[in-house]
Chains A and B, each alone.
Chain A
Amino acid sequence: MSAAGAPLPDADLLSAAFAALLIPFAMVGLAAINAGLGRSRNAAHLMTASLCVVAAAAIAYLSLGFAWQGAAGGPALVLSLGGKDWNWLARQPLFLRGIALSGSPVLLQAWVQLLCVGLTALIPLGGAAERWRLSAMCASTALLAGFVFPLFGHWAWGGGWLEQLGTNYHLGHGFVDAGGSGTIHTMGGLAALAMTWLLGPRRGKYTSEGMPTAIPGHNGVQVLFGCFMAWVGWLGVNTACSILFSGSGLGSAALIGLNTTLAAGSSGLVAAASTRVRFGRPDASLTANGWVAGLAAGSAGCAVVPPAAAILIGIVAGFLAPLVIEKLELRLSIDDPGGAVSVHAVGGIWGLIAVGMFARFSMGRFANDGNADSGQWVAQLIGVATLAGFILPLVYGLNWLLNRFVPHRVTPEGERQGLDLHELGAGAYPEFMTHTDEFFQR
């Protein structure tokens, strides 16, 4: 099914299935980036946590989440508001009951959505790394994958009210998020922000006067390798999601690949150049952050913007990411070791807004949906307002509640020791003398 609920041609389904095979590379890339940007004493913990989080997300999503998110054209809870139908929630059976387990387009959609949930769940790990307990991570992920992601996913991808803004209220073609700048990245980035607020900074990150101290990542090569992996994965995410949820069609695959690469490349280059200008040398980790910010920003419009616009989207993302990382750390006391808030939330929001500015709806289902292009920017802003105004409080509230039963933060002793030893009982690099207390105030 496409976003409009019409059946997709077999060639589109086949290409979406092949593209979906690449999505796990995006997960590997994010996990490698997060682990590389952390200290060596937490590296094994972060990689283990990434595996556990993806597993918890998959189980929670297939047990519960898909029932709320569903597929476009499926059974849904529709309320009438102001004389218009508002599609709020899917009403699929739990545990995928009732869906054909062979040859079903809905099952393909469920699989791609499951992979997207896994990717979303990895993003907060970057922001809350080095102080978040493994069990609490898994429980928090279950809430994200079982309740929060499906809700917004249905609104944006499953024929929900955001997608209907075009047909119901003549706001362009409705909220457009072809590759998931909002559904995956802004949601993950806002979840990371909620966790940094809940957990507070790492011990030793700020002096008693409130000045931040530098805590460099332990493996820059791993971070940059993760960027390459993420790029491959993103080609899959953007292609599969655009075909399945925006009805972009197989003909858009080349444009999607081009735009994804151009947005990431221009963003990474601008991040490298801007850090070169400011610090005298290009900063490797901020360049990596810029690269991923370009991927996140380019996702929403990957199938509907011309390549020149993709470069512009990347340039702005590459300029914003290092700047926001610095402001959050220095001015707003947000300790976000992986840059998840700046890269995914800010990059994602910029990508959504950029669709309203640069999109050309001349292909796929948009060409024939009978809607004019005017008002598209309002639809995009409504989506952004929903993520910030509803999803963020929901994620924060659920995790605040969860914290009463499953404490999120590790003990000070565990943090000093490193989560590898404290939670796993063994370090990532046992043959090396890895760390001292250089980052802790005495």
Chain B
Amino acid sequence: MKMAGFLLLLSGWFLVLAAVVLLRASGPQAVFVLAGIAVEILAFVLLFRAHRIARGRPE
């Protein structure tokens, strides 16, 4: 679960990079950057949950 969280973090970053490289119009570029950050936030949720489970705390 922790590994998945870190992979998701990297995926979010790649999404942000792809938005910068591939999109020229400022609107879609900003939307994709925000989407990348949303993926990173999801990754943090996963990582914090993984940490709680590893510590034996109930969800």
Q: Which residues of A contact B (CB under 8 A)?
A: 81-82, 84, 165, 169-171, 197, 200-201, 206, 210, 332-334, 374-375, 378, 381-382, 384-386, 388-390, 392-393, 396-397
Nearest first, the 6 closest Cβ-Cβ pairs linking A and B are: A389-B13, A210-B57, A82-B21, A385-B16, A393-B6, A333-B55
A389 touches B9 (CB 8 A): yes
Q: Within the complex, which residue of A210, A375, A381 is in contact with B58, where a contact is CB–CB below 8 Å?
A: A210
Which residues from chain A contact B44 at a C-beta distance below 8 Å? 388
Q: Which residues of B contact A (CB under 8 A)?
A: 2, 6, 9-10, 12-14, 16, 20-22, 26, 29-30, 33-34, 36-37, 40, 43-44, 47-48, 51-52, 54-58
> Can you report 24 residue pairs joining A to B where beta carbons are below 8 Å apart?
A82-B21, A169-B20, A201-B55, A332-B48, A332-B52, A333-B51, A333-B57, A334-B48, A375-B30, A378-B26, A378-B33, A381-B16, A384-B37, A385-B36, A385-B40, A386-B13, A389-B12, A389-B14, A390-B9, A390-B10, A392-B6, A393-B9, A393-B10, A396-B6
Residue of A nearest to B13 (CB): A389
For the complex formed, measure the closest distance between the CB of A161 and the CB atoms of chain B, giving whole angstroms: 9
A381 touches B10 (CB 8 A): no
A53 to B13, CA, bound (A): 30
Which residues from chain B contact A374 at a C-beta distance below 8 Å? 26
Which residues from chain A contact B54 at a C-beta distance below 8 Å? 200
Q: Within the complex, which residue of B40, B51, B52 is in contact with A389, where a contact is CB–CB below 8 Å?
A: B40
Which residues from chain A contact B43 at a C-beta distance below 8 Å? 389
Which residues from chain B contact A171 at a C-beta distance below 8 Å? 20
Most buried by A among B9, B36, B44, B56: B9
A393 to B11, CA, bound (A): 11
A381 touches B34 (CB 8 A): yes
B30 touches A378 (CB 8 A): yes
For the complex formed, measure the closest distance between the CB of B13 and the CB atoms of chain A, giving whole angstroms: 3
Which residues from chain B contact A382 at a C-beta distance below 8 Å? 16, 20, 33
B55 touches A200 (CB 8 A): yes
A389 to B20, CA, bound (A): 15
Residue of A nearest to B51 (CB): A197
A386 touches B16 (CB 8 A): yes
